[in-house]
Homo-oligomer: A and B are copies of this chain.
Amino acid sequence: MKTKDRIIHGALTLFNENGERSVTTNHIAAHLEISPGNLYYHFRNKEEIISGIFDNYAKELKTRFQPMAEDQQSNMPSVQVMLSYLDSIFELMWNYRFFYANLPDILSRDDALKLKYTKAQQALNENLIAIMHSFRDSGLIDLEDDELQALTKTLHLVASCWINYQTALLSDNEITEAVIYQGMLQMLNVVRPMATEQGRKQILELEEHYKGRL
């Protein structure tokens, strides 16, 4: 792995463990056993490292939430499709949890990043709506167009804010994988009232899947 990538990965690890605020560029350098000068050879400043991390995140976001082509979809049982999306959300939330936990702070200090973030989220939103449409077409959920928009928004909000929200309710600061799994369950709770009979069965399956991991 190239140094530039090692920095991005090392920084991500430390940020997730200790929070972006308390991780200095010197910490990152020491953690990777490189000199601070070398770090600044690859990145002009700390912002640029965060921005680099975000680019990776955005790339994953894009590929994971591209709605599948219809023919592929019909071949795959719907529960598998839902599972794959939920797992994607889980992994992103877990792998970039420092980002989810400090979003307003991080974005307020970097206008360019804020712009990138907004664009990525708009693209994501469109994809999510398409995905919901396909769930409706498959008879998993049953709702009007405006209700579908509202549901998507709620799901997006739960996904983006879950970690932030949960930190409030936990007695220690540690965000563990179990916390994220609870988020998946909460998202299923949000969808359940709109589910068809068939959809409800599948949601039950998924719930069993995640409850097993708590």
With an 8 A cutoff between CB atoms, is A76 at the interface? no
**Interface size, A (range):** 35 or more
Secondary structure call for the A interface: helix
Contact B150 A186 (CB under 8 A): yes
Q: How far is the CA of A101 from the CA of B21 in the complex (A)?
A: 13
Residue pair B171, A165 in contact (C-beta under 8 Å): no
In the complex, which of the residues B101, B161, B169 contacts A121, with contact meaning CB atoms closer than 8 Å? Answer: B169
- Is residue A163 within 8 Å, beta carbon to beta carbon, of the partner chain? yes
Chosen A-B contacts, 11 in total, with CB atoms closer than 8 Å, are A101-B105, A102-B104, A103-B164, A105-B105, A108-B173, A150-B190, A153-B189, A154-B158, A161-B164, A164-B164, A193-B194
How far is it, in angstroms, between the C-alpha of A104 and the C-alpha of B166 when the chains are bound? 9
Given A193-B193, A193-B194, verify A168-B121 contact (CB < 8 Å).
yes
Docked pose: A105 CA to B22 CA in angstroms: 9
Given known pairs A153-B186, A165-B157, A186-B153, the reply for A21 and B105 (CB within 8 Å) is yes
Whether A165 pairs with B161 at a CB distance below 8 angstroms is yes
- The smallest C-beta distance from A125 to any residue of chain B, in angstroms, reads 8
Interface residues of A (CB under 8 A from B): 19, 21-22, 100-105, 107-109, 114-115, 117-118, 121-122, 125, 147, 150-151, 153-154, 156-158, 160-165, 167-171, 173, 175, 186, 189-190, 192-194
